[in-house]
Structure 1
Amino acid sequence: MKTYAQRLPDGPAAAFMDSIERHLDDTHIAWIGGSGDNDAFYYRVHSPVVLIEYDCHQGVFLDNDEPEPFHVHTIVRTPNGGDYGRDLLRQHLARHHPQQHAGR
């Protein structure tokens, strides 16, 4: 997880790692594909506080018909941390424009 956390500033990285460590008993890992240096593979790590996917892809504009380790997509989401699914506009209106937001 530190590989993904190190891209964050120190404070958020520490908070990210703390939340991950608190949920280690509820963390699951899935792996599909090879394990050799040149093998394509996919993995998913998920818990109540994080979803990480690493996926070797086939080419869209490249010539590889099969997934290759040089064409990688990754995602890191914090589903219960509000990185998606949170209505930021509604929160902003309620916090900063309560009179206009009343009744919505």
Structure 2
Amino acid sequence: MILLLSCIERHHQKFRRPPIGPIGSHLTLVQGEMWAVALEGVFGKLLNAFIVTDHTDFLLLRQCAREANYNHLHIIIYGFSRPRLNIPHHMLPQTNHPTAISVVHPTTISS
């Protein structure tokens, strides 16, 4: 992963918007490491995935992954011009048990 991040840094000016990732580095667990193994099972390889803004950035990130010998990188394309999804509290599952949404919080991502 270090080689991949170095390659992204070297080519950062070529991206329309710098990739966000790995996604797992932008999440915090509410109750420490208590849920880490369970959430890794739920989210799987998405924790190592990156988000880019368009297909051109996808191709550039894929090239960086090849240079870093990082095979099978998951890349998600998301148009950042779309508003962030906010789920109203009343639409969240009503349960006495924790959910993935209740124990994982995003960290602030600077643009």
Q: TM-score, normalised by structure 2?
A: 0.24
Q: Which has the larger radius of gyration?
A: 1
Instruction: Kindly indicate which of the two structures has a greater share of residues assigned to helix.
Output: 2
Instruction: Kindly indicate which of the two structures has a greater share of residues assigned to strand.
Output: 1
Q: Report which structure shows greater RCO (CA 8 Å, sep ≥6).
A: 2
Q: TM-score, normalised by structure 1?
A: 0.25
